[in-house]
């Protein structure tokens, strides 16, 4: 049976809480993803690599205190553990 190793990073501001990450890749470039089982989408950190990815528009979101707009990027390959798309 395949498995996906989890990376647990304790929250320094909230004792007993932590964020869970998984290692993967986007177009063969190593990436670390926040594991959020309730999320509708995943994000990639904005850096020189992500700036090279083609975009397919923007995603707009509103919260209590602000409005955000994030680029929707197109990837050829996404890999996390044994999962590949």
Task: Tell me which of 55 and 41 has the higher pLDDT.
Answer: 55
Q: How far is CA 51 from CA 10, 35, 47, 76, 81, in A?
A: 29, 23, 6, 15, 24
**83 backbone dihedrals φ, ψ, rounded to 5°:** -90, 125
Average pLDDT, the chain: 90
| Tens-place pLDDT, residues 18-29 | 999 999 999 999
DSSP-derived secondary structure for 6-54: -EEEE-TTSTT-EEEEEEEEETTEEEEEE--TT-SS-----STTGGGS-
pTM assigned to the model: 0.74
């Amino acid at each position: 049976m395949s498995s996906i190793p989890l990376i647990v990073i304790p929250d320094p501001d909230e004792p007993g809480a932590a964020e869970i990450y998984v290692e993967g890749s986007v177009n063969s470039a190593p990436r670390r993803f926040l594991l959020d089982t309730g999320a509708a989408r995943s994000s990639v950190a904005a850096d020189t690599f992500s700036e090279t990815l083609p975009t397919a528009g923007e995603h707009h979101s509103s919260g209590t205190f602000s409005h955000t707009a994030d680029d929707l990027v197109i990837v050829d390959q996404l890999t996390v553990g044994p999962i590949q798309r």
